[in-house]
Amino acid sequence: MKRKLLEMKALKTYFYTGDGVVPAVDGIDITIYEGETVGIVGESGSGKSVTSLTAMRLTPGKVVEGSVTFDGRDILALSEKEMRGVRGNDMAMIFQEPMTALNPVFTIGEQLLEAIRIHMKLGRSETKARAIEMLRLVGIPRPEQMLREYPHRLSGGMRQRVMIAIAMACNPKLLIADEPTTALDVTIQAQILELMQQLKTSQGTSILLITHDLGVVAEMCDRVAVMYGGQIVEECDVLTLFTSPKHPYTQGLIKSMPTLETNERRLYSIPGSVPPPGSLRDGCRFSPRCEFAQAICHERHPQLEAVGAGHSARCWLHAAEAKEAFQ
C-alpha cells in the first residue's frame, strides 16, 4: 500500500455571510496517496474549489469540523508561520486564471526567484540557475530572456507554464490545480496537460485536480470524487467512473456531454438548475433533479457508502445493495 499524503476527514468549511451560514463544504473525506492524481469534479457552487483551498488553509470560510492531515502533520493545528513553510515547499497551487495570480508590476524572474529564495534558501547564482532550469522544464523557450519579461507580455498558455514553474520550483509533494486549463484554448490545454503528466512522472508529484471537464478527468486522473452541493456523491477510480457510474448525477453528467464520438441527435440532460451553495434541504441534495428519486430520497439524507471495491456512492438506490454486500 502506498503512503497517504493528504487526508481530509469529515471536513466542513462554512461561510458566515450577511444572509446566513453557507455550508460550502459539508463533510468531505478525501485521501490522496503518493504519486497519485485525484480529481474533484463538480459544477459551480459544488464546493470543489473551497475544498482545495481548505487543504492549503487559504479558505476565507471557517473550518467548523474535521481534520486535514498532510504528510503526517495536522494542517489545521499548524501555526501560520509553519503553514507558510508548508505552502510552496510541500504543497503548491495553480489557478484557473494565471494573470490574476502573477503580480503585474514584477518580472517573471523576480517572482520566480522570490519563490525559490523563500523556500529553498539557495545562493544567488544557484537560485537563478534553478529558475532557468524550471522554466526550461515547463517548456518555455529562451528562459534567460523570459526572466526579464512582465506577465502581461505573455500569452495565457505561457503564463500558466510560468505559474507551474513557480509552483514546481521547490519540488512540492502535492500540486493542487484548480481548473488549470479552463481559461486556455484546446491546443494549449493539450500542451499544459501533457506538461503536468510529464512533471508527475519525472518528479513523482501527487496532483489534486479540480475541474468541471470530464474529458480532462479521463486523461489525467487515477481516482475521482464527484461533488454535488458541498458533498461527495461518488468516488471511485477513473475507469469505473466512466464504465459503471452508480450515482444518477454522475451518470447524467457523463450522458449529457456531447463528445466527438457520439452521434445522437438529442443529448441527455439533467433537468433543473445547479443549486446555489447553502440551499439545504431534507433528503438527498440531488433528489429534485433526479429521475430515479423515490419517497425516501426526498425525506432522508443518504450516506456515502461502499458499492464496490474502492467505489462509494451517496444514493438510496445503492444503499440496499451496499448493505447486502456487507452481509
Ranges within 183-222 binding another protein (CB under 8 A): 185-191, 193-194, 212-219
Count of residues in contact with another protein, rule CB under 8 A: 80
The Cα-based distances of 291 to 168, 248, 321 in angstroms read: 44, 8, 19
The count of residues in the chain is 327
Q: Is 315 in the site for another protein (CB under 8 A)?
A: no
Q: Is 70 in the site for another protein (CB under 8 A)?
A: no
Secondary structure letter of residue 2 according to DSSP: P
- Contact range with another protein by CB under 8 A, out of 130-138, 274-282, 292-300, 317-325: 274-282
Least separation in angstroms between CB 108 and another protein = 13
Which lies closer to another protein via its Cβ, residue 37 or residue 322?
37
Q: Is 81 in the site for another protein (CB under 8 A)?
A: no
- Contact range with another protein by CB under 8 A, out of 6-14, 255-263, 298-306, 319-327: 255-263
Q: 250, 233 in Cβ contact below 8 A?
A: yes
- Interior angle at CA 321, CA 320 and CA 326, nearest 5: 95
Which lies closer to another protein via its Cβ, residue 262 or residue 327?
262
Please state, in angstroms and rounded to a whole number, the distance separating the CA atoms of residues 153 and 131. 19
Residue 7 backbone phi and psi in degrees, to 5: -135, 120
Which residues from 134-163 bind another protein, rule CB under 8 A?
141, 155-158
- Sign of the CA dihedral running 183, 56, 216, 287: negative
Least separation in angstroms between CB 295 and another protein = 24
- Quick one: which of 54, 4, 5 has its CA closest to 28? 54
Q: Is 45 in the site for another protein (CB under 8 A)?
A: yes
Least separation in angstroms between CB 318 and another protein = 20
Q: 50, 24 in Cβ contact below 8 A?
A: yes
